[in-house]
Amino acid sequence: MSDLILSRVFRIASRPAAAALLLMTACGLGGCAGGAANNSFAMASNSTSGPTVAFESIDGPPPQVFERMVSMLDSESKLRSLSIVSREGTAAYRVKGYLAAQINHGRTTIAWVWDVYDQNQQRALRLSGEEPAGKAGRDAWAAADDLVLRKIAQAGLGGLTSMINGTSPADAPQPAPPAAPARRGPAVASADASPAPHEGEIAVGALAYTSY
């Protein structure tokens, strides 16, 4: 099983409009907390079989949460044998992700959105959902533990795999959770603002699945 190649570069950018749009998209009327940095990373594997996927960015979380999110995507993508390639190269699909910490009645929920684009830069799929993260503290992101992030990775990659295989998210097999992966350093850089939400999303449990 090939190792993912991860590099780390930090570049902090102020995006007030993008942050506001993300919070309105993911949180609705709830109270939310967003990270100051816009995050993107390069992931690559040696596998070339099947459609290739590149992750462009994950906007919203602070760097420490972002790093753990990358680790979860790393291990979960290997379990599904997805062909993850560097965002610097060509890919059949590209993913832009967004996370927001929402506080409602003293409880924290991590809302997430994945927009999947095809080679024509047209959005082919939107995956979204919410994961309960427990009691809210002074820092809402502190509730985003490894279990919460792994559930997000499983739901997102499961929906992505379903689209590639032509099945519905409910039909996709869910692998057993592996041991916690080793920490890796992602590349963090500025990314584009998140797009406005589209109507007509179909809820499948905690996962919203929309094809175009």
Residue-wise pLDDT tens digits, 81-121: 788 888 898 899 999 999 999 999 899 999 999 999 999 99
What pLDDT is attached to residue 43?
Answer: 56
User: Within 10 A of 7 (CB to CB), how many other CB atoms are there?
Assistant: 13
Q: Which domains does the chain have, with CATH numbers?
A: 16-177+186-211 (3.30.160)
pLDDT digits (tens, 9 = 90+) for 12-51: 233 333 333 444 444 443 445 555 445 555 555 545 466 7
pTM exceeding the 0.85 threshold for the entire prediction: no
Binned at pLDDT 50, 70 and 90, residue 196 comes out as very low
